[in-house]
Chains A and B, each alone.
Chain A
Amino acid sequence: DTAVSQTPKYLVTQMGNDKSIKCEQNLGHDTMYWYKQDSKKFLKIMFSYNNKELIINETVPNRFSPKSPDKAHLNLHINSLELGDSAVYFCASSQDSSGTSGRAAGIQETQYFGPGTRLLVL
């Protein structure tokens, strides 16, 4: 069983289009994340979300919007795609992000990643 899954794995599209990437986790985790990894391999957090709070990285353009139908899913919708959006997008989840301290934080905060979606905007 795949713990964190994403679809599609590859996405090639034209500039200006709107697209969505889906993410599902079957770990029973409360917190989910979206990351962008560019050609330089730097992982950049875009959003983190649990049933209490959505935290948005302020540098993320508002063309990107997360949508969560339930706590097992966090989809990423992108409007008006641009060439610079080409990257690998990773979804991740963690048990909780409620601020548990000490060694327990290692269990709560460990993030498990999906396989990634390789987006190419032409």
Chain B
Amino acid sequence: GQNIDQPTEMTATEGAIVQINCTYQTSGFNGLFWYQQHAGEAPTFLSYNVLDGLEEKGRFSSFLSRSKGYSYLLLKELQMKDSASYLCAVLDSNYQLIWGAGTKLIIKP
């Protein structure tokens, strides 16, 4: 079966750094997405990784290791507005997007 695992909830402090992990077991791999979803709103695209390594985009970075079936989203200089759920999703061999259940990130002052 296909499976994506993320922690259910994480807490971090404003100004700090947090790493949200995602592990996956899918039938094939054509890339991994991270989306952000604020409460009551739609998911919005953050990043896409298809090659191993780190992709940096401002305060957010995403890392991928295909051999380990592992990715993480790194958020630096946390702001209160970063409080949201972060969804990991993998594009499988059929180009179907398999979604994780999301990690709720709580930022405390």
Contact = CB atoms under 8 A, between A and B. Distances in A.
Interface residues of A, number: 25
Interface stretch (A63-71, A76-84, A113-121): A113-121
B70 interface: no
Nearest to B98: A45
Given A43-B87, A103-B50, A109 B99 contact: no
Contacts, number: 60
Given A105-B91, A106-B31, A43 B48 contact: no
B97 A45 contact: yes
Contacts of A112: 45
Contacts of B51: 103
Given A105-B31, A106-B31, A42 B101 contact: yes
Contact of A90 (B30, B43, B97): B43
A92 B51 CA distance: 25
A52 interface: no
Nearest to B39: A41
B50 to A, nearest CB: 6
Contacts of A45: 96-97, 99
Contact of A116 (B42, B50, B95): B42
Nearest to A98: B95
A113 B37 CA distance: 10
Interface in B52-109: 85, 87, 91, 95-97, 99, 101-102, 104
Interface of A: 40-45, 48, 55, 90, 97-99, 101-103, 105-106, 109-116
Q: List the 3 closest A-B pairs by CB distance, nearest first.
A: A106-B48, A113-B42, A43-B99
